Amino acid sequence: MIRMSSSAIALFIFVGAAGCGIGDAQTNLRSAVDAKRQELNQCYAAALTRDRDASGTMQAYLYVDSEEGRLTEVEFVGGDVSDPAFQSCMSGSLTQVQLSEPPVANLKVEYTFQLTPEG
């Protein structure tokens, strides 16, 4: 019998996904998120006025709709900062993200945001 590990199967799926444009969509999404950095920084600046020690990481799932190519939802799933107003500000900014091309499938992408105070 030939044994096949789960990671190898995942690799095949990933290769298949990459082959049909999912990888491009992920790259597009990252570019679009990076373009929102200034707004995200402003959200963070406001969070620091509420808690000047707010820092660390935040994990979130970003959901992208395949029909419109739009980021429709941000689901925060963990991290060091639990400020609801900050999360709302981040969501408000990110859900304006529009990909240049709709992906071939809906996307659920796990992101980590590294929050670093300056000064």
Q: Is 11 left (phi over 0), alpha (psi -120 to 50) or beta?
A: alpha
Cα torsion 105, 60, 11, 25: sign: positive
Return the residue of 7, 49, 67, 84 that touches other proteins, per CB under 8 A.
49
Spatial CA neighbour of 98 closest among 25, 1, 12, 9: 25
Q: Is 68 in the site for other proteins (CB under 8 A)?
A: no
Helix (H, G, I), strand (E, B) or coil at 85: helix
> For residues 33 and 99, which CB has a smaller minimum distance to other proteins in the complex?
33
Under rule CB under 8 A, residue 82 binds other proteins: no
Tell me which of 20, 35, 77, 85 binds other proteins, using CB under 8 A.
Answer: 20
Q: Which is nearer to other proteins, 98 or 108 (CB)?
A: 108
Q: Which of 42, 82, 88, 100 binds other proteins (CB under 8 A)?
A: 42
User: Given candidates 4, 5, 67, 84, which one binds other proteins under the rule CB under 8 A?
Assistant: 4
Minimum Å gap between C-beta 68 and other proteins is 15
Residues in the chain: 119
Our finding on whether 117 is near other proteins (CB under 8 A) is: yes
Phi and psi angles of residue 93, each rounded to the nearest 5 degrees, phi first:
-75, -45
Residue 13, interface with other proteins (CB under 8 A)?
yes
Contact 47, 54 (CB under 8 A): yes
